[in-house]
Structure 1
Amino acid sequence: MAAKSTGPSGSALRWLGVAAAPAALALGFLWAGGWLSPNRVTQDRLMAELHDAGSYGQGFRRAHSKGVCVTGRFDASGAAASVSKAAIFQEQSVPVVGRFALGAGQPYVTDNPATVRSMALRFMPKDAPEWRAAMNNPPVLPLRDVQDASDFFSSQRIDPATGKTDPARVKAFGAAHPWLQAAAEKNAHRVITSGFADDTYHSLNSFLLVGETGTKTAVRWAMVPVQPVAPADAAAGGRDYLFQRLIADIHDHPLQWHMVLTVAGPHDAVNDPSQIWADGDQTIDAGTLTLSAVESEDGGPCTGLTFDPLILPPGIVASADPILQLRSGAYMRSFSLRSGEKREPSAITPAMTQAPAAESEKKS
């Protein structure tokens, strides 16, 4: 859990999340899944559980609240065109708007290398529908379904007397959900890298790629860094040091990742995101993401976006993974709430994202 921090208003801040989405599509999934029936997990219930777990709100995303905007392009390799008719997988350069963030509901939280990091992207091919994707750096999601998610958020409830979660409640969640143990252990042993630039970001959920003939191929994917990977520096620190390092890296040179698709094997669980897939599964290098500019969310191009994972183009469809509907519905409700709230300035200000004067002069 991220540490407690204080923002400009002096309010206490705390933990957790995911982020954003459009209404009609999400409501359709919610209705079809029975979320709006009595005694089911609803959007408002999830938002209340996030609030009780320390989500700051007040105009910010209910989760992954601290972030920056990035822009660049995606260049397809053509290798995935045989399994998907999506425009992004053809050999062309596609403009991208994205966002890096920390997976906490606190917009002024102090950067911590162990906090979940996220990469969210909006691919905008010319003359074709867009695609939005939201990825995290843990390799697997330690939640099986909507009830698991609700139980987990409830276990993270902040005790007003201590300002912290109750360790007994957290332990009880683990004991009551033994089927999630393997995923939690996998994530606990992941490599913690030095920053956003050298981290790998995973889709977590499974999707189906649709080919020209209608064939469907189940995949998960990861954005794998081209930059050399270095372990987290225990001596590094500062409230915003991870973002400051990302900003410096992008100003120094464009950052790149390979989009690596993992094709589900015969024994892989496609619709359960808590299940680890086999190490020997087929992979496809679908192309290269290049990010060349960074901006503050105060006026940046990603600020008004929701990175709903169910905004999919022809050639990519959702699997039956129930967490996909959960994420889409939560993003929709989060977006609706923050759209009607007055927002304080971001922790990462426009001035912080500017290139150093010497570099600006050199480029001009």
Structure 2
Amino acid sequence: MKPFWFGAGSVSNAGVLVRLGAIGAVLLGVAGAFAYVGGWLSPARLTQDRMMAAFQDANGPHPGFRRNHAKGVCVTGWFESNGEAAALSKAAVFRPGRVPVVGRFALAGGMPFQPDQPATVRSMALRFLPPGGEEWRTGMNNIPVFPVNSARDFYDQLLAASPDPATGKPDPAKMKAFLAAHPEAARALALIKQRQVTSGFANSTFNSLDAFRFVNAAGASVPVRWSTVPVQPSSADRAGPSAEADPNYLFDDLVDQIAEHPLQWRLMVTIGGVDDPTNDATLPWPADRRQVDAGTVTIDHASGEDGGPCTDVNYDPLVLPSGIEPSDDPLLSARSAAYARSFTLRAGEEHEKPPSAVTTQEVQAGGKS
């Protein structure tokens, strides 16, 4: 009697073995991929969870809140495109007309109950919702450049700024050592310190910091950065309370102003030159670069974050419509991954989350707690 692998069923049995081997190889590959992503095969690799842990080390645990830009308020309004950017990008948002916007103003850092301070970095995040199902999300800050140019450097900066367990305060020697090892961060921080700090959110200019690419209908591509520039005068003289009198004074002032009349910003697109860096957000582009006024962002309503329209929005910078593409800036993919993990964590912590610092009742009362 012949061995079974030479008999009538030899092809079938051999095929089964091959298929089982292939399935095993696929499963092993998937397991390996998860191990790699989780950092199990490379303990020194920077993962999403390690980044989240660094935020917690720097800011403390705050279940249910965003790991960065934790203190904020929701806003809604619209973007009125004037059509001027349509020659640069085929994105529907730049066709003449109006599209809804869901936004969020916030303070940088992972401390949702921090008192408002003038020098704290402010952010404006926008979600544009043109017809057709595509959307555009962008997060901008009121600083001219980003302090670091890679996810690893951002992680190391968080560690350097984390409180020392023995003192409860950051160790200045650690930050000094970080800056000595990262001269690009030292140069960026010097530019950030030189910026004009306005009286509030309403008269702040917010910058994309990262570079992107606009692609038009003919397929031509140009590097861009963008900013929202306030229509409200930057020297607006509103006598408001200080953080000692009102720890939410920046947000309360914003809510008061929106209640009085809509606030507006011009969406200014800066076109980079052939030699302008697109992979390093610590470097500014020359001030003489061409700018295109793409239209006006109008904000006419504010609401608290607890159940507000921005609560479940992840302002991922890689949610882009056709006509806007990421550049080679490594921070874009790093931000996207960190935002996704932050979203997943806070979604699973909803039952632990206390009310936000700027409560729904406070917003409804016109910014007065």
- Do these two structures clear the TM 0.5 threshold for a shared fold by scoring above it? yes
Asked if the contact 2:203/2:236 (under 8 Å) is kept, the reply is no
Correspondences of 1:17-166 after superposition (within 5 Å): 38=42, 39-166=44-171
Matched, 1:261 2:269: yes
CA distance in 1, matches of 2:87, 2:61: 44
Match of 1:347, as an amino acid?
A
Residue 55 of structure 1, CA deviation: 4.2
Residue 234 of structure 1, CA deviation: 9.8
Residue 311 of structure 1, CA deviation: 0.3
Asked if the contact 1:223/1:257 (under 8 Å) is kept, the reply is yes
Residue 263 of structure 1, CA deviation: 0.5
Alignment partner of 2:229: what SS? strand
Residue 235 of structure 1, CA deviation: 7.0
CA distance in 2, matches of 1:90, 1:167: 50
Question: Higher helix proportion, which one?
Answer: 2
2:347 pairs with one of 339, 348, 361:
339
What is residue 203 of structure 1 aligned with on the other side? 208
* Structure 1 runs not aligned, ≥5 long: 1-29, 358-364
Deviation readout 1:139-179 (Å, 9 max, x if unpaired) = 10021112211211111111123221111101111111012
CA distance in 1, matches of 2:365, 2:298: 18
Q: Which moved more, 1:267-276 or 1:61-70?
A: 267-276
Match of 1:352, as an amino acid?
E
Q: TM (normalized to structure 2)? A: 0.85
Asked if the contact 1:87/1:128 (under 8 Å) is kept, the reply is no
CA distance in 2, matches of 1:205, 1:241: 29
Which entry has the higher C-alpha Rg, 1 or 2?
Answer: 2
What is residue 270 of structure 1 aligned with on the other side? 278
Matched, 1:186 2:191: yes
What is residue 246 of structure 1 aligned with on the other side? 254
* Structure 2 runs not aligned, ≥5 long: 1-32
Higher relative contact order (CA 8 A, sep 6+): 1
Correspondences of 1:211-250 after superposition (within 5 Å): 211-230=216-235, 236-237=242-243, 238-250=246-258
Asked if the contact 1:55/1:62 (under 8 Å) is kept, the reply is no
Q: Percent identity?
A: 48
Matched, 1:326 2:334: yes
Residue 355 of structure 1, CA deviation: 5.1
Deviation readout 1:120-154 (Å, 9 max, x if unpaired) = 11100112401111111111002111221121111
Matched, 1:352 2:362: yes
Residue 57 of structure 1, CA deviation: 2.6
2:306 pairs with one of 284, 298, 309:
298
CA distance in 2, matches of 1:216, 1:330: 28
Alignment partner of 1:165: what SS? coil
CA distance in 2, matches of 1:212, 1:164: 53
Pair 1:345–1:235, CA change in 2 (3 A) = closer
CA distance in 2, matches of 1:56, 1:193: 30
Asked if the contact 2:240/2:253 (under 8 Å) is kept, the reply is no
> After the TM superposition, which parts of structure 1 deviate over 4 Å for at least 4 consecutive aligned residues?
33-37, 231-235
Q: Which moved more, 1:141-150 or 1:336-345?
A: 141-150
Q: Which moved more, 1:177-186 or 1:200-209?
A: 177-186
Deviation readout 1:267-307 (Å, 9 max, x if unpaired) = 31011111111111010111100000000001110001100
Supply the RMSD in Å over aligned alpha carbons: 2.1
1:311 pairs with one of 319, 329, 337:
319
Q: TM (normalized to structure 1)? A: 0.86
CA distance in 2, matches of 1:356, 1:223: 25
Match of 1:338, as an amino acid?
R
Pair 1:351–1:227, CA change in 2 (3 A) = same
CA distance in 2, matches of 1:179, 1:106: 26
